[in-house]
Structure 1
Amino acid sequence: MNKKKHFSLLLTVILVIMSLIPSVAMANNESALKSNKGANGSIPQLSPAQPGELIDCERLVSFDFPSTVITKAELVPKGAESNAGQPIEEHCLVQGKMNERVSSVDGQTYAIGFEMRLPVDWAGRFLYQANGGLDGSVVRALGSFTGGQLENGLQMGFAVLSSDAGHTGSQNPLFGLDPQARLDYGYQAVGTLTPMAKSLIEEAYGREPDRSYIAGTSNGGRHAMVAASRYADEYDGFLAGAPGFNLPKSAVAQLWGAQQWAKVATDINDLETALPPDERQVLAQAILDRCDGLDRLVDGMVQDIERCQKVFDVERDVPTCELERDGTCLTEEQIQVVKDVFAGARTSDGEEFYSAFSFDPGLVSDGWASWKFRSSISNRDPVAVGYIFSTPPEDPSMMEDTLGFALNFDLDTQGQTIYESNERYTESAMEFMTPPNPTNLDTMRNSGAKMIVYHGASDGVFSSADTARWYNELNANYRNKADEFARFFEIPGMGHSRGGPATDQFDGLGSLIDWVEYGKAPDRITATARGEGNPGGVNPDVPSDWASDRSRPLCPYPLVARYTKGDPEVASSFECKPSSGGPGLNR
Structure 2
Amino acid sequence: MSSARLLTITLLALLLAPAPAVASPRSSQTVKPVMACSDVTSITLPGVTWKSATVSSEGAPAPYCAVEGTIAPANTIVMRLPVNGWTRRYLQTGCGGLCGSSRINYTQAASCAPIADGTIASATTDMGHQGQNDGSWAAGNPQALIDFAYRGVHVTAQVAKAVIQRFYGRAPVYSYFSGCSDGGREALMEAQRYPDDFDGIIAGAPANNLVVQNTFHHAWNVLANKDADGKYILLADKLPLIHAAVMARCDGIDGLVDGVLDDPRNCRFDPASLICADMSRCLTADQADVVRKLHDGATDGHGNSLEQEISHEWGSELDWTLFVPAAQGQVTFSENIALSFLRYLAYRNVADPDYQLSDLKFTVASFWKTVQTSDYLSATDPDLRRFRASGGKLLLWHGWSDQHISPQATLQYYDSIKPSGFARLYMFPGLAHCSAGLGPNSFDILTPMLNWVEKGTSPGAVIATNGSRSRPVYPYPKVARYDGTGSTDDAANFVPVTPQRESSVGYKWLGAGLYSHGYQAGCRVVDGRLVCTALRR
1:249 to 208, 212, 220: 212
Q: Is the 8 A contact 2:315 2:430 kept in 1?
A: yes
SS at match of 1:489: strand
Amino acid at match of 2:127: A
Amino acid at match of 2:30: P
Q: Is the 8 A contact 1:136 1:164 kept in 2?
A: yes
Please state how far the C-alpha of 1:581 moved relative to its aligned partner: 4.2
Q: For residues 26-65 of structure 1, what are the alpha-carbon distances to aligned partners after superposition, in whole Å with 9 as ceiling and x for unaligned?
A: xxxxxxxxx9xxxxxxxxxx95576322222121110111
Amino acid at match of 2:361: D
Separation (CA, whole Å) in 1 of partners of 2:438 and 2:51: 43
Separation (CA, whole Å) in 1 of partners of 2:488 and 2:334: 41
Decide whether aligned partners of structure 1 residues 257 and 233 sit closer, same or farther in structure 2, where only a CA change above 3 A counts.
Answer: same
**Residue segments in structure 1 that go unaligned for 5+ positions in a row:** 1-34, 36-45, 101-110, 399-404, 421-427, 476-481, 530-547
Structure showing greater Rg: 1
Separation (CA, whole Å) in 2 of partners of 1:194 and 1:485: 22
Aligned twin of 2:34:
55
Worse-matched range after superposition: 340-349 or 244-253: 340-349
- The yes-or-no answer on 1:320 pairing with 2:278 is no
Separation (CA, whole Å) in 2 of partners of 1:148 and 1:397: 43
SS at match of 1:216: strand
2:306 to 353, 356, 367: 353
Aligned twin of 2:100:
136
Aligned twin of 2:476:
557
1:418 to 360, 364, 370: 370
Please state how far the C-alpha of 1:358 moved relative to its aligned partner: 5.0
Aligned twin of 2:66:
93
Aligned twin of 1:158:
120
Query: With structure 1 as the length reference, what TM-score do the two structures score?
Result: 0.75
Decide whether aligned partners of structure 1 residues 567 and 436 sit closer, same or farther in structure 2, where only a CA change above 3 A counts.
Answer: closer
Separation (CA, whole Å) in 2 of partners of 1:147 and 1:371: 29
Separation (CA, whole Å) in 2 of partners of 1:372 and 1:47: 50
Higher helix share: 1
Q: Is the 8 A contact 2:222 2:335 kept in 1?
A: no
Please state how far the C-alpha of 1:331 moved relative to its aligned partner: 2.1
Amino acid at match of 1:260: A
Aligned twin of 2:421:
484
Separation (CA, whole Å) in 2 of partners of 1:126 and 1:492: 30
Separation (CA, whole Å) in 2 of partners of 1:208 and 1:154: 22
Please state how far the C-alpha of 1:264 moved relative to its aligned partner: 9.4
1:307 to 240, 262, 266: 266
Please state how far the C-alpha of 1:72 moved relative to its aligned partner: 0.7
Q: Over aligned residue pairs, what C-alpha RMSD do you find?
A: 2.5
Decide whether aligned partners of structure 1 residues 415 and 338 sit closer, same or farther in structure 2, where only a CA change above 3 A counts.
Answer: same
Aligned twin of 2:345:
388
Aligned twin of 2:503:
583
Decide whether aligned partners of structure 1 residues 151 and 584 sit closer, same or farther in structure 2, where only a CA change above 3 A counts.
Answer: farther
Separation (CA, whole Å) in 1 of partners of 2:332 and 2:115: 30
Separation (CA, whole Å) in 2 of partners of 1:153 and 1:137: 21
Residues matched between the structures, number: 472
Separation (CA, whole Å) in 2 of partners of 1:241 and 1:152: 20
Q: Is the 8 A contact 1:238 1:451 kept in 2?
A: yes
Aligned twin of 1:435:
379
Separation (CA, whole Å) in 1 of partners of 2:447 and 2:341: 34
Aligned twin of 2:58:
81
1:214 to 171, 177, 185: 177
Q: For residues 400-441 of structure 1, what are the alpha-carbon distances to aligned partners after superposition, in whole Å with 9 as ceiling and x for unaligned?
A: xxxxx1244213255444333xxxxxxx2x12212262x221
Decide whether aligned partners of structure 1 residues 275 and 584 sit closer, same or farther in structure 2, where only a CA change above 3 A counts.
Answer: farther
Separation (CA, whole Å) in 1 of partners of 2:62 and 2:274: 55
Please state how far the C-alpha of 1:149 moved relative to its aligned partner: 6.2
Decide whether aligned partners of structure 1 residues 555 and 305 sit closer, same or farther in structure 2, where only a CA change above 3 A counts.
Answer: farther
Q: Is the 8 A contact 1:48 1:518 kept in 2?
A: no
Decide whether aligned partners of structure 1 residues 146 and 152 sit closer, same or farther in structure 2, where only a CA change above 3 A counts.
Answer: farther
Q: Is the 8 A contact 1:261 1:274 kept in 2?
A: yes
SS at match of 1:380: helix
Amino acid at match of 2:432: G
SS at match of 1:566: coil
Q: Percent identity?
A: 29
Separation (CA, whole Å) in 2 of partners of 1:372 and 1:202: 50
1:370 to 316, 322, 333: 322
Q: Is the 8 A contact 1:145 1:217 kept in 2?
A: no
Q: 1:273-284, aligned counterparts within 5 Å?
A: 274-277=234-237, 279-284=238-243
Separation (CA, whole Å) in 2 of partners of 1:357 and 1:396: 27
- The yes-or-no answer on 1:336 pairing with 2:289 is yes
Decide whether aligned partners of structure 1 residues 379 and 341 sit closer, same or farther in structure 2, where only a CA change above 3 A counts.
Answer: closer
Aligned twin of 1:461:
404
Q: For residues 353-383 of structure 1, what are the alpha-carbon distances to aligned partners after superposition, in whole Å with 9 as ceiling and x for unaligned?
A: 2112353323213xx3124555455432211
